Amino acid sequence: MGGVTIDVGDRPTREVNEQLRAAIADGTTEISLEDPAGRHNLAVALEGDGVKINCNGTVGYFLGALGMGPDIEVHGNAGWSAGADLMSGSVTVHGNAGSSVAAACRGGAVVIDGDVGARCGIALKGGTVVIGGSVGYMSAFMMQTGTFVIGGDAADGLGDSMYAGDIFVGGEVEALGADAVMRDPTDEELVGLKELLTSVGHDPDRPWKHVTSGGKLHHFQKEQYELWKQAF
């Protein structure tokens, strides 16, 4: 089915999201959201593999959260929690975004071309997060698995109490969080990183650092209480 254009304007968000669901149910695969004007909760909990949604303008918080298939692209900035709890599909923002981007994602991909705020990728449970610019404090806190790429700098507390997963940083790290460790990436990891970044239109040529879990907080004895005091 051909493309559909939905004008957001002053319409209620619920009405816009209902129209999105109806269009997808009718077989539409190309949808344009015009004049989003910073509206919150757009395109949440949508199903639909192979569906492309273009937001032509800046959006508010929770854009594309709980997505299960559609690929959402924002030509502007986004508020906090863009792509949170994503199951599959993708959220791409050609601008900056707020705090808690990609929080608790289980799959899919969240790509932000610019900078993001604090707590990006917290409780990440899978999928891929690519930030072209810098991230705020406590990003990847309690990360459980997945791939998190930061092209710029990372503020204090990166990877704090992470269980597993891979964080790659192209800039400077202000300070690692509790039990996060840093090393140089392997040649194989660099090849995979280049493929990933090239596929989303980002520059792979950076002095990459690889941050992972030190594993000290996975299993502990009461005699190691000092480790937990440092973590909290």
Provide CB contacts within 8 A for 168, sequence distance 6+: 147, 148, 149, 150, 185, 189, 193, 208, 209, 210, 211
In whole angstroms, how far apart are CA 26 and each of 19, 50, 71, 167? Answer: 11, 13, 17, 40
In terms of residue numbers, what domain contains 69? 4-231
**Is pLDDT of 220 > 80?**
no
Mean pLDDT of the 93-100 span? 98
**Hey, which residues does 30 pair with through a beta bridge?**
52
Q: Is residue 225 very low, low, confident or very high in pLDDT (cuts 50, 70, 90)?
A: low
If we measure between CA atoms, which residue out of 165, 166, 150, 154 comes closest to residue 206?
A: 150
- At residue 72, the 3 state secondary structure works out as strand
Q: Give me the phi and psi of 181, to 5 degrees please.
A: -125, 155
Mean pLDDT of the 32-53 span? 97
**Is pLDDT of 76 > 60?**
yes
Q: What is the CA radius of gyration of the chain?
A: 18
Provide CB contacts within 8 A for 8, sequence distance 6+: 16, 33, 34, 35, 36, 37, 39, 42
CATH of the domain at 147: 2.160.20.60
- This prediction's pTM: 0.93
Domain count, the chain: 1
**Is pLDDT of 59 > 90?**
yes
Q: What's the pLDDT tens digit per position in 4-24?
A: 999 999 999 999 999 999 999
Tokens of 102: 């990609």
